[in-house]
Structure 1
């Protein structure tokens, strides 16, 4: 694996994001204090948010950034593609087992975006991974808690639409994500997302429309108020 990564390194580094941030889809920008993923900083996702991790990789891979996913056994590549991930820019290492820390460090040194699952390594290894990611310009997104994560995203509710009375087809998934963290990310934010909507798009859930004053009619003499709903 080390020889393979060494051979790929020049091509991968040419495909890193040119700006200071790794881009994310517009619908996800409100979750992040800088509206993008900061290379070298860790974002943790808890609450069962595999779809959210994949959505965070969509804009980056579409823009030409290479992404590696480590520890995601049985990752749904079709679902990833439907969320906007460019599979031609995605490398999957399903089960590194005892080699997990070494694999993560090697990939952080060559890729622009790293998705991790499998639990945090011991403290020194977590610090070393952050150091390698900062040096090489790699953004890290972890499925699960991570010590010292700069941004923490927590999926607090999930629901599907499309099912009728016991039958039908799942067409849209709605989630609520609470974002927090350290520093500029300390202010807690709550964002509703379609992940995806019925048309396959990742977008924010619109706030309910306010009640229009024009829709409320003045009562006639001797009668109660009539409200148009």
Structure 2
């Protein structure tokens, strides 16, 4: 598996990210530079897979290759509804004990690597992976805590709308989030995010953003899917 991924890396590198990897307009509010810094580590806790996938949507639209390692049963239909261009997404659902080798190989050839470690993260493995992402300019987005992460995104609470009095259809999900980290991300800030809203769009939850959010996220509308 590692040899196959290493052979694929040169093809993936044909579309490398620029100074910042773009994100959907609503997600810019979570990041100090309003985009993802190549070589940085972002940790996401408490949010499920949807938030991680949403972080790759704009990048794949712009032609950047992304990868997801360790997300067994990843919902590709839900990813597409969030705006992810699946032809730019490499998925390794069950790397098993080889997850460090798979992750390091893909970090050397993609713009964003989504990682859910399937085993213990030793200091040596973490150091090697971070070193490769810095050298290659890959953004490492980890599902869970990661020591020394540049940006930390934590879902503090989430609520669904549409159930009513014990029955109905889930139509929208609202996340109350806290963003922090190191350096320019050190100042913590709270953000409430619809992921998605009742129209299937990803947007910030404040009145002035509703109209603009509907326009700017039209590419990510679709039927509601749980991720």
- Contact in 1 for aligned 2:45/2:154 (Cα 8 Å): yes
Please list every run of 5 or more consecutive structure 2 residues that lacks an aligned counterpart in the other structure. Answer: 209-227
- Contact in 2 for aligned 1:192/1:205 (Cα 8 Å): yes
Quote the residue 2:71 is aligned against: 72
- Contact in 1 for aligned 2:69/2:91 (Cα 8 Å): yes
In the alignment, does 2:30 pair up with 1:27?
no
Q: Secondary structure at the match of 1:163?
A: coil
- Contact in 2 for aligned 1:120/1:126 (Cα 8 Å): no
In the alignment, does 2:8 pair up with 1:5?
no
Alignment of 1:1-229 (within 5 A): 1-17=1-17, 19-118=18-117, 121-207=121-207
Detail structure 1 runs of 4+ shifted over 4 Å in the superposition: none
Point out the structure with max Rg over C-alpha: 1
What TM-score comes out, normalization by structure 2 length?
Answer: 0.87
Number of equivalent positions: 208
The structural deviation recorded for 1:137 is: 1.2
Quote the residue 1:215 is aligned against: none
Give the Cα separation in 2 of the matches to 1:83 and 1:38.
21
Tell me: CA distance 1:86–1:179, structure 2 relative to 1, closer, same or farther (3 Å). same
RMSD: 1.6
- Contact in 2 for aligned 1:40/1:135 (Cα 8 Å): yes
- Contact in 2 for aligned 1:70/1:92 (Cα 8 Å): yes
- Contact in 1 for aligned 2:193/2:202 (Cα 8 Å): yes
- Contact in 2 for aligned 1:120/1:147 (Cα 8 Å): no
What TM-score comes out, normalization by structure 1 length?
Answer: 0.86
Please list every run of 5 or more consecutive structure 1 residues that lacks an aligned counterpart in the other structure. Answer: 209-229
